[in-house]
Structure formats: structure tokens, C-alpha cells
Amino acid sequence: MDIQTLRNFLRLSGALSFTKAAETAFIGQSTLSKQIKQLEGEIGATLFKRDRRNVELTLAGAYFREELGKVLSQLDYAMERTRQLHQGLAGEIKIGYTHSAMQSLIPAMVSAINQRFPNLKTSLIEMNNIQQLQALKSREIDISISPNPTIPDQVLGKVLIKDNFALVLPMDHFLGPENFRSMAQLAGEPFILPPKPEGVLYVGIVESICTDAGFFPQVVHQTSYANSGIRLVQGGIGVTIEPIFGLKGYSDIKVIELKEIPQKAELTMLWLPAFQKEFPEILTLLQSIEPQLP
């Protein structure tokens, strides 16, 4: 059993055709057939049902395909990381982020990486909290930066910024810093918030700001992206609540910083233990970046 045979098994399990799988593997059908028979012999299980017309995975074959896909994905990751280490941190680091991270940290992070590790490419992917966690676990990204995320087991994290939330209002709203007394004045107002399944802890904190004031927010629009929510506020669709560090650069909105409430916005960086072990210098650098606050 070798890696190429395992990869050819995956090709065949996807194509369910010896002809197509052999073509993509650049080998003959007889060679592919021999590899599969040897693989089945080594495993001690029939992986495919086949006749003159059809090729189908057996129950054992379907299980092996699912588990093998995970193993080869981890192997590819390890090989790529090994190449990067050998090349002196040449390669790519993928960072998942939300709007508030781009407003306050991401530009400084990318600049610092470029100066310290000029051969390292930085890829940025905007995602909501839950998408970042899923991508981090599957190693589609290396670093996650999001506000008030839920941190599962086997994931490490550090709060990079802790600051106040702010109420974001249209310019013609009757409330302003001069006459704002409490969130209770917003009871009955239309709110624009993220969908709760995409950031359960974060949205729960934002909702609690309202429930502590005696009302539940009346949500008229949901959006995963803070920039979209703020644009809707500018258009007079409703009001929203955002971390103060995510509001840099906006005009045509009223911002009331909620200094007196106990809830705080925490911009948190998450990573896997394997990343910390492989690239401690990068991790130390990212944790040292000074935020650019409004």
C-alpha cells in the first residue's frame, strides 16, 4: 500500500469509473485495477461492487473513503508545512476575519508579516464567527480573528482588543449623545443584527444589552456582515450595535458609545496547537500588534 494507490482509490470512488479514474491518474486501467485489488487484499475488505457496466462503493468502501480523505488531507497539510519550514517560512498563511478585525488589526498584521517574513504570502478571507471555527478546525485557515467567539476544546485563543460596544443610529434619529440616557429608549426600534446561528455567543451578548434594558430587540433585517448592517443604518432602515473598534472610517451615522454597560466587545484571535508548535514566531508577532482604534 502506498500513497499513490490511496489517492487512486479516492479518484475511483469519486468517478465510479475505471476509465475516468485511470485517465486522471495517468495510468492504464489494468494498473488501476491491480492497485485496487491489492488494496482490498491488504485491508481485508471488498471496497467496490463491480460488473461490466457499473462500479459502486460497498459500505466498507464508503467508510474507507470518508476516513481516508481526512487522513490524506492531514498528510497534505503536514507536507506543505514541512516545505514551508524548510524554505524559511516561504508559503502562505490564511487568516479568517470579520469586519471589526479589518477595521482595527488586519492591515497592521499584514504589514508586520510582510516586513518580518517577506517570503510569506498572506491570504485574507472574510467569514462570520461560525464559518471561521469550521475553517480553522478543517485547517482551511490558520488564524481566526473574530468578536466574542465561542472557543471549543482543542482551540487556543487570546483577546487582542477589549472595548465598548456602541449604538449606531441614522443621522436623523431623535437620539444622540446629548440626550441618550439608556438603551431602554430604543425599545420598539427596528434593529439590524447578525443571524444568531452564525455567532451564537456574540449575538447573545448583543441581545443581552437590550434585554438588560427591559426589551428584546425587534429585528427587521439580518446580515452576516457588519458593513452591510451599517450601510442599512445609513439608509434609515434601522439601528444596530457594533464594537466601537469596528466603526473606524464611517460617516453619516450617529455613534453612541455604551460605556456604562457590563458587556464588552472582545476581538479574539484563535489558532490550533499545531500552528503554535510549527510557527511560534508568527504567532508571537501577531499577538504583539497594536490595534488601530477610532
Give per-residue pLDDT as tens, 248-269.
Answer: 888 899 999 999 999 999 999 9
Within 10 A of 13 (CB to CB), how many other CB atoms are there?
A: 22
pLDDT at 280: 87
What kind of architecture, by CATH, is found in domain 3-85? Orthogonal Bundle (1.10)
The answer on pLDDT for 88 being more than 60 is: no
Question: pTM for this structure?
Answer: 0.68
| Vertex 147: Cα angle to 145 and 151 (nearest 5) | 75
Average pLDDT over residues 231-258: 94
Give per-residue pLDDT as tens, 66-78.
Answer: 999 989 988 887 8
What are the phi and psi torsion angles at 268 (to 5°)?
Answer: -120, 135
CATH topology of 3-85 equal to that of 92-294? no
pLDDT at 109: 93
With bands split at pLDDT 50, 70 and 90, how would you rate the model's confidence at 236?
very high
Q: Which residue bears the cell 471549543?
A: 152
Nearest alpha-carbon partner for 182 in 224, 210, 141: 210
Average pLDDT over residues 211-223: 96
Q: Which is more confidently placed, 271 or 85? A: 271
The answer on pLDDT for 81 being more than 80 is: no
Give per-residue pLDDT as tens, 23-63.
Answer: 999 999 999 999 999 999 999 999 999 887 889 999 999 99
What are the phi and psi torsion angles at 53 (to 5°)?
Answer: -110, -35
Give per-residue pLDDT as tens, 129-163.
Answer: 999 999 999 989 999 999 999 898 889 999 999 99
pLDDT at 238: 96
d(CA 22, CA 36): 12
pLDDT at 294: 63
Domain boundaries, the chain: 3-85, 92-294
Give per-residue pLDDT as tens, 107-127.
Answer: 999 999 989 888 788 999 999
The answer on pLDDT for 90 being more than 70 is: no
The answer on pLDDT for 19 being more than 80 is: yes
pLDDT at 86: 62
Q: Which residue bears the cell 508548535?
A: 277
What kind of architecture, by CATH, is found in domain 92-294? 3-Layer(aba) Sandwich (3.40)
pLDDT at 39: 94
pLDDT at 36: 94
Which cell goes with 37? 485489488
pLDDT at 77: 79
* H helix count then E strand count, the chain: 11, 12
Q: Which is more confidently placed, 128 or 80? A: 128
pLDDT at 84: 67
Query: Which parts of the chain are beta strand (E)?
Result: 48-50, 55-57, 91-97, 120-126, 143-147, 156-163, 165-170, 190-193, 218-222, 240-243, 253-258, 265-271
Average pLDDT over residues 215-233: 94
d(CA 97, CA 271): 12
